[in-house]
Structure 1
Amino acid sequence: MKTYVIGDLQGCHEQTLALLERVHEHAGEDEPIILFAGDLINRGPDSLATLRHVRALAMGSGGRIDSVLGNHDLHLLAVAYGIRPEHKSDTLAEILHAPDRDELIDWLRRRPLAIHTQGHVLVHAGLLPQWTAAQAMALAGEVQQMLRGPNMAEFLAEMYGNLPDRWSDDLQGADRLRCIINAMTRLRFCDADGVMDFKMKESGKAEEGSGLMPWFEVPGRRSRKETVVFGHWSALGLTLKPHLIGLDSGCVWGGQLTAVCLEDRSLLQVQCPEFQTPGPKK
């Protein structure tokens, strides 16, 4: 049985269907395991259809199909619970007014923040250099427990903010969970000490002299012996390195929607039109 990870869908339903068809053709007679790298929705034209489709696939798959949470997915939860307003660039209104809204939101909040499979760790954005893969999975579990529990709305109200910007095992409460979420769903750049930076959003390279670097280039990163698979970084683009797979190839911005087969790194892609979505690239 082959395992495929698919990059950020962001509401591009037509392209999702086309890529899933290619995945099944590549897998042959076996039913594939299919994992999504988060950001199932928002910015693209068909967020409702995309979320419905992925949920239906997952619920009928016996655990073979799942998705990690991305920053746009968490934003939808916050908007749905009245914690945050919609942004001008959001394409979430259809979901928020859908007759099956509650079922969709409940399914989404129960998604994992990270998935470990076959020596790979799948996360939407990144891992702090202080974390081993095992520690990252345990920390993801702390957030998942809160999002799936009765106090989720209270936590969503405390989820936003850029601080604390570095990890400490002594962090507690909302600060601890916020740091975990920021790393796993928002991280791109940090310094050599693992201090996160959220100012540079549209660049694939750090500014010279800034002291910043992509999170996966920090010397001594403790998760480097596992292959980390991530999305989130369309400006970085498709990235294939030893022990690293970056899959956000900018579908919603006129790039490609990409899947990778973990067993042999076969790439499957479909071309995407550039949708007229206001606001800067994520």
Structure 2
Amino acid sequence: MANILIGDVHGCYEELRRVLEKADFEPCRDTLWFTGDLVARGPDSLNVLRFIHSIKDHVRLCLGNHDLHLLAIYAGISKNKRRDNLEPLLNAPDYDELMNWLRRQPIMQIDEQLKLIMVHAGISAQWDLDTAKQCARNLEAMLSSDSYAFFLNAMYGDLPDFWREDLQGIDRLRYSANVFTRMRYCYLDGRLDLNFKEAPEDAPAKLKPWFMLPRKIPDEYSIAFGHWASLNGKGTPDKIYALDTGCCWGGKLTALRWEDQQYFKKRKIKQKD
């Protein structure tokens, strides 16, 4: 049995199928891990979700910011953007089924045997593992509840940008969602900067990638994440794995087979005019 970790798919269904073929994936034998952002921008978000849903018993995924935005569209809170190529999904007969499955998926995955954590964007340097787990559980409980639309309506915003133990209610949920699904850079004190998105070599001195700050998560754990295509899978410390290599932007879709640390990549297929 292999654990195969997949970077941001973003609706690139054909590339997903081809990279899994290269990795010799067998759904009855192996487990797929997804860093989130399953949908949007690529050409076939509908079939990405249908495929993952069809093998859901062999999948471990965490939700990304584009997945949350899709749920906000489903809840009637946000508007669909044409550039996201979501119309076939929004008009599909199984749209309700897929959305109600999606909103019940985790925000963070942890495997204690593998000592592996997966999130979409990152983990706050201010959090120890128990705090990260609790914040993820709080978000997951809200998204799977009948009140999920209330949170989705209030999740947009950059504040609060600094963790405090006494954060409560929507402030705690919004901060947690921003860490798990949007974070790239922090100030040296751990405060979030959610605006700068370029590669670290272009960052101002006052900002550091979240994974370059001292962390409270025990060193025995590896952390895999997506979200940050401009890293192109490079420049992270030991045991930190950046898996988003920008397939929907003309880059590649990356898969990592955990057991032998072998990478498999598939370049974006050019669409016919």
Change in CA separation of 1:172 and 1:206 when aligned onto 2, cut-off 3 Å: farther
Change in CA separation of 1:132 and 1:275 when aligned onto 2, cut-off 3 Å: farther
Contact 2:110/2:117 (8 A) holds in 1: yes
Aligned with 2:156 (options 151, 160, 168): 160
Question: 1:33 & 1:111 partners in 2: Cα distance?
Answer: 16
Aligned with 1:191 (options 166, 169, 187): 187
- One-letter code aligned to 1:236: L
Q: Secondary structure at the match of 1:16?
A: helix
Aligned with 2:83 (options 78, 89, 94): 89
Question: 2:49 & 2:231 partners in 1: Cα distance?
Answer: 25
- One-letter code aligned to 2:24: H
Q: Secondary structure at the match of 2:10?
A: coil
| Structure 2 unmatched runs, 5+ | none
- One-letter code aligned to 2:32: I
Change in CA separation of 1:241 and 1:111 when aligned onto 2, cut-off 3 Å: same
Contact 2:212/2:237 (8 A) holds in 1: no
Kindly provide the CA deviation profile for residues 221-253 of structure 1, in whole angstroms up to 9, marking residues without a partner as x. 112612110000000111364120000011111
Alignment correspondent of 1:280: none
1:253 aligns with 2:249: yes
1:39 shift after superposition = 0.5
Alignment correspondent of 1:267: 263
1:11 shift after superposition = 0.3
Change in CA separation of 1:236 and 1:224 when aligned onto 2, cut-off 3 Å: farther
Runs of 4+ in 1 over 4 A off after TM superposition: none
1:70 shift after superposition = 0.4
Aligned with 2:61 (options 67, 78, 84): 67
Question: 2:262 & 2:133 partners in 1: Cα distance?
Answer: 26
Question: 1:167 & 1:159 partners in 2: Cα distance?
Answer: 16
Kindly provide the CA deviation profile for residues 108-130 of structure 1, in whole angstroms up to 9, marking residues without a partner as x. 10110000011111000001101
Alignment correspondent of 2:16: 16
Kindly provide the CA deviation profile for residues 6-56 of structure 1, in whole angstroms up to 9, marking residues without a partner as x. 00000000001111222235x7x9711111110001000011111111111
Q: Could you say what the CA RMSD is over the residues aligned between the two structures, in angstroms?
A: 1.8
Alignment correspondent of 1:147: 143
Aligned with 1:221 (options 191, 202, 215): 215
Question: 2:166 & 2:251 partners in 1: Cα distance?
Answer: 42
Query: Which range is displaced more, 30-39 or 1-10?
Result: 30-39
Alignment correspondent of 1:236: 231
Q: Secondary structure at the match of 1:179?
A: helix
1:85 shift after superposition = 1.2
Alignment correspondent of 1:99: 93
TM-score (norm 2): 0.93
Where in structure 2 are the equivalents of 1:28-67 lying within 5 Å? Answer: 31-58=29-56, 61=57, 64-67=58-61
Alignment correspondent of 1:77: 71
Identity of aligned residues (%): 40
* Number of residue pairs aligned between Structure 1 and Structure 2: 268
1:4 shift after superposition = 1.2
Q: Secondary structure at the match of 1:169?
A: coil
Change in CA separation of 1:275 and 1:232 when aligned onto 2, cut-off 3 Å: farther
Question: 1:136 & 1:203 partners in 2: Cα distance?
Answer: 26
1:265 shift after superposition = 1.5
Where in structure 2 are the equivalents of 1:100-115 lying within 5 Å? Answer: 100-115=94-109
| Structure 1 unmatched runs, 5+ | 277-282
Alignment correspondent of 1:175: 171
1:77 shift after superposition = 0.3
Contact 2:15/2:269 (8 A) holds in 1: no
Query: Which range is displaced more, 229-238 or 262-271?
Result: 262-271
Question: 2:115 & 2:137 partners in 1: Cα distance?
Answer: 18
Contact 1:253/1:274 (8 A) holds in 2: no
Question: 1:109 & 1:153 partners in 2: Cα distance?
Answer: 11
TM-score (norm 1): 0.90
